Every structure is written in structure tokens, then in C-alpha cells.
Structure 1
Amino acid sequence: MTDRTTRWGILGTGGIAATFASDLPLVPGAELAAVGSRTAEAADAFAAKFGVPRAHGSWAELAADPDVDVIYVATPHSSHHAAAMVCLEGGKSVLVEKPMTLDLASSAQLVQEARNRGLFLMEAMWMRLNPAIRKIQELIEDGEIGEVVTVHADFGLQGPFDASHRLRDPALGGGALLDLGVYPIHFADLILGSPSAVHSWARLTPEGVDETTGVLLGYHSGAVAALTCSIAGESRNAASITGTLGRIDLPPGFFVPRSFTLKRSTGETEEFDLGFDGSGYQFEAIEVQRCLAEGLPESPLVPHTTTLELMTLLDTIRAEIGVAY
């Protein structure tokens, strides 16, 4: 993998697949070699739009393509497990869109399958690879804001969504938690790690998925994370990290930041600008290619243990708020 192009396949033809395809030209050494969908018509249309050499009318055909090194699974999350399993069984390394699956058990099954086959597998939590997020982690590790005491993050979309929309469909893993809440939850994990206490509450839709969810996480250090997500109204979609010596504020769109502000307790304010081209999906592709080149079975930045720990947390929250898929 070190002396040739990394040949990508994309499984899925929706909006996220399109964004990933648009960002892939920003990745050195990346080639979009093939696309696969459940129908030849969808695959052909996507291939024509993005100049993809080969279009496959089934997941299995894409997984069997000998000229593909790694596949990005970009289906709705209710299909992640089945799609990623097809790819792994076809001998392909996989980058699977977040959340990896709908629950811990199915995510653990994918991890075990990848390990058994010696294949690379990573959850596509692009926020964890974002340059601004990584810079924030570095500042906190260097003690720039002292001991972290609170983390706040929210992600809400303007509703209402029709009852037929995927965000309200339990069969598609609908609701705010898995679509939006994963970002505040991953953000808190990046800063504080695994919580020692979990308290959550939600308003459910008539279909039984969460419309608005609030989560309070407690940590052995004494820190607290207050997180919200909603498909009923657009919140500020921002985040902040408060420490004993200062605070870091992330602007709206905290899950794909290009800048942030560090406010020290001395009154000094420092602005950080880490702007980049594209939508931000290129950084996860860069990390995948780095890991493949180094022969790593997983990314140290988005390791399997983190994915499984957070799926455990999401399962706990769903149990508390009474959501089942």
C-alpha cells in the first residue's frame, strides 16, 4: 500500500456518499475506483456524476471487485452491519459511517469479523480526525485550561419531520440520538473519556424514537458533561469545554470546526483558525490510508475499543429513554 494509489470503493449513493466522493480528490494517493448500490441504476447515476470508472448493481459485486482496496460504507445506519459484513466477507478493508451499527452486539460482531480476517475496520467518526479537534485535545493535554470541569454540546435540527421520514422510522434507527447525539457524546468522550454515571431523558415521537434527548454524564474526576440532541428544533449546535484555568468555545457546527476560541482565566483570549478546503471528510480517508500503509488493523485515533465503549453508552441511554429498534 505504500508505493501505489489507494483504490476506494463507495457503498451507497446518498448525500453522505456524495460528500465523501467530493472530498476524496483532496486526499493524496486516493482514487475513487468503484461504487456499489442495491440497484444498477443508482450506481450508474453516481458513477456518471463523479466520474467513477466502475459501477456495481449490488453490494457483493463491489466487495468482489479486485481493483478496490478499501470500501467506505455510506448507507443509512440501519444497513451498516449488513453492508460492512458483505465487504469484510469479500476481503475488503472497511470505513463504515457512524454509528458503526445500531447496537453494541452488532458492532462487536463486525470488529470480531475484521480481526478474524486480518482486515482494517474503522468507524467514520470524522469529527475525531478534524484538525481543530485534534488541536483542542493537544491544548488540554498541555494544561492550557487546567483541569476540565464541564463539557457542554448540543446538536438539533429544525423540525418538524414527517412521520414517513427516516429520522422517525424505528426500522431505520431513527431519532435524534444515533443521527445527531453521537456527536456530543463522542465530543465528551474525546475530552473526558468514559463516564462513571449516566442519566438521560427524552421526549419520544408517536413512532417510538427520540425526538429530543438530554444526557448528563458524570466522571470520577468530578467533571460533568451536559449534552442534548433534537429533531424538533435547531439548537445553537455549539460546544464548550470549561477548565479551572480557562474555557474553549467551539462555534456552531462544532462537529466540523474550522476555528475555536481559547479564553484564559487571566482575561487573555486567543483565536485559532485551522481552516481547510472541502467538507472535512478527507481527514478520515487520510487516516485510513495511513493505517493501511503502516499495516495497522485499526486506527489509534478511532480504535475499536472506543467504538465499542460508545456503542455501550448509546445502548445504555436508549434503555433509559425507552427506545428500541
Structure 2
Amino acid sequence: MKKINWGIIGCGDVTEFKSGPAFNKVSNSNLIAVMRRDMAKAKDYAYRHNVPKWYSNAEQLINDPEVNAVYVATPPSSHEMYTIAALAAGKPVYVEKPMSVNTDAAINMVRAAAQKNIKLVIAHYRREQPFFKKIKQLIIDKVIGDIRFVKLDYCKMVLNQEALKENKNAWRVDTSIAGGGLFHDLAPHQLDLMLYFFGDAEKINGVAVNQAGLYAADDMVAGNILFKNGIVFSGIWSFGIEKTSERDWCEITGTIGKIEFPVFDGRTITVTVNNTTQQFTFDALQHVQQPMIEKVVAYFLNEAGNPCSGEEGALIMKWMEAMTRK
């Protein structure tokens, strides 16, 4: 392949700004087809984004001879099915996070890619953003000394009955579609960063409960990780609080200082060493997945390594299940 001609399965909200337009902004990459079960919505998306082809059937998109790579952006319950179908057609796949609804499904996807010798990438895209690459470099450079522990708090306002009437919210707390609640939707970003920063884990445990009782999925998770390098992580995810108590904060503590940053809601990294504070501020990205898509295209064209493998995606599924196991 000299150019990646993408087809998107599931051209919904996540593709409007975060990813979709970036496929045409990256070198040697074009978005040429989109699919959505609602043909009218697929056509509307295609018209608005100047995409020449649209489908209401995923099989037709996968078998389009001009499409040579597939981006799966549906809810998690169909990731396994569409990914394996695209791999069977010999087409590399970029699949949204969470990788699937559970570890077993994720492993099936990894095995299918290995059996066909076709490339598979998981959209843990924050690891390619300049903001998080800076944090990684600060860790490598030992700016705060040797890392000892990490604390993460992520607290969001409860989804009330009015919010749950909207489909974009409702499916995310339907365990049959999402695999879990908002923890499964959002924590993959945070946990993948921990994997990216600190490597594999030795022990993982946690507690998951449904405190508000507004839907079937758990809305509160407390998780702990002991990494193989001895670093300890503790995290709280709460989706049942008031607006004034919302929090998006992570703190990495080392022997001579600390690094503080938000994962979702900010652009500033604060580094404190020996009571001296320095801040690094980054501009907002127009399309948050564009740096990752650049790496995926390079990987598919054999010009770079895999920016986030299926094995890594499956490992994050395993971590989440360890934290939420009853």
C-alpha cells in the first residue's frame, strides 16, 4: 500500500470531530467510505465530510475493493464482530476503546489478527498527544526522581433521568453494549496511560458498586495496581456526585517532587520539585486523535511500529475486569 483509504464503521458522534476529519488531514491517508445502519445518517455524514461513499451495511464497506483499512467506531458490543470480519477480508483495523466488552472478546480479536497476519491497533490515542508525551519524558528524565506512587481521582456529575433518555448516554451505561458503565467508557484512557508510563502490572484489585441505583451498571470504582517496577497506583472513579464536586486529577509522586495533571479537562502539567513549581501548557488539539492516526497510518504503511497493539488493548480490558470483579 502507498496510501491508506479508510472506511469507517459507525460514523457517530465520536467521529464528528475527534477522529473523522483527521483521516483526510494526515499524509497518505484518505477517508473514502462510511457506514451507519441508518442510511440517511450515513449519507448526511458523508455529505458534510466530503466522503464519496456511504453504506448502511458493514459487510459492503468491508468488501469495498477501494477500502484498504477499517476504523471500527461502533459501541463496544460490536467491536469483536466487525474487527474480525475486516481482518478476515485482509484489511488492517483501527478500533475504538474500550477494545471490546470483555477480555475474552479482546483476545479473540488479537488471535484473529495473528492468524491472518493483519495489523490491529487500539485507539488509546492519548499516548500520542504532545501533552502526555511530555509527561512520559518527564518520567524518563527523572525530573521528580524515582516514582513511588500515583493517585487518580475522576468524579463526574450523576446522569439524571433526563440525561439517560439520550441515546448517547444510555448505551454507555448498558452493560450488554458497553461491557460496564462509565468506568468502562472512560477509564481505558487513564489506565492505558498508566501502562504507557509504567509498564505491566504485578497485582490488581478493586471494588465496584452501584451507589446511585439509576441504571444497572456500577457507578463507583476504586482500583489499585502494583506495577512490576514497584510503583503503586490508586484510583477513584465516581459517577454519582454533584456538579460542584467534579474532579479530574492525577498526581505522580517521586522521591524529590510530583507531577500533577488532568486527563480529560485541562491542558496544563504542573511539576513541583523541592518546593519550586513549573507549569507546561499545551494548545487544544482540533482533532484529538490526529497524532495517533498519523502513527497508525505510518504503521499500516510499514514506516513505524504499532502505537498501541491489540495485546495492550486486551491487557487494559483485563485490568478493568480485575478492578470490577465481584
TM-score, normalised to structure 1, is 0.88
| Residue 137 of structure 1 pairs with residue 108 of structure 2 | no
Contact persistence 2:202–2:227 (CA under 8 A): yes
2:13 pairs with 1:7: no
Q: Equivalent residues in 2 for 1:182-221 (5 A)?
A: 182-204=188-210, 205=213, 207-221=215-229
Q: Secondary structure at the match of 2:201?
A: coil
Equivalent position of 2:66 in the other structure: 67
Q: Does 1:250 align with 2:258?
A: no
- Corresponding position of 2:312: 306
CA contact (8 A) 1:23 1:282 kept: yes
Q: Residue 181 of structure 2 aligns with which residue?
A: 175
Tell which deviates more after alignment, 162-171 or 101-110.
162-171
Per-residue deviation, 1:192:
2.5
8 Å Cα contact 1:145-1:247 kept in structure 2 = yes
| AA aligned opposite 2:132 | I
Q: Is the 8 A contact 1:200 1:216 kept in 2?
A: yes
| Larger RCO, structures 1/2 (Cα 8 Å, 6+ apart) | 2
Which of residues 243, 246, 249 is equivalent to 1:238? 249
In structure 1, give the amino acid aligned to 2:173.
R
Q: 1:17 is matched with which residue?
A: 15
Partner of 2:102: 103
Q: Distance in 1 between matches of 2:236 and 2:287?
A: 24
- Report the alpha carbon displacement of residue 306 of structure 1 after superposing the two structures with TM: 1.9
1:264 matches 2:276? no
CA contact (8 A) 1:150 1:243 kept: yes
Counterpart residue type for residue 137 of structure 1:
K
Give the structure-2-normalised TM-score: 0.88
| 8 A contact 1:185–1:227 mirrored in 2 | no
Give the superposed CA RMSD: 2.2
SS in 1 for 2:157: coil
Greater displacement, 155-164 / 283-292? 155-164
Q: Which aligned runs of 4 or more in structure 1 are off by greater than 6 angstroms?
A: none
Runs of 5+ consecutive residues of structure 1 not aligned to the other structure: none
Kept in 2: contact 1:130–1:283 (CA 8 A): yes
Structure 1: how far apart are the matches of 2:74 and 2:65? Answer: 22
Relative to structure 1, is the Cα distance of residues 277 and 183 closer, same or farther in structure 2, using a 3 angstrom cutoff?
closer
d(CA) in 1 for partners of 2:269 and 2:27? 27
Q: How far apart are the structure 2 equivalents of 1:73 and 1:222? A: 36
Structure 2 residue 289 is matched with structure 1 residue 318: no
Counterpart of 1:287?
A: 295
> What does the per-residue CA deviation read over 1:76-98, in whole Å, with 9 as the maximum and x for residues that have no partner?
11221112122222221110000
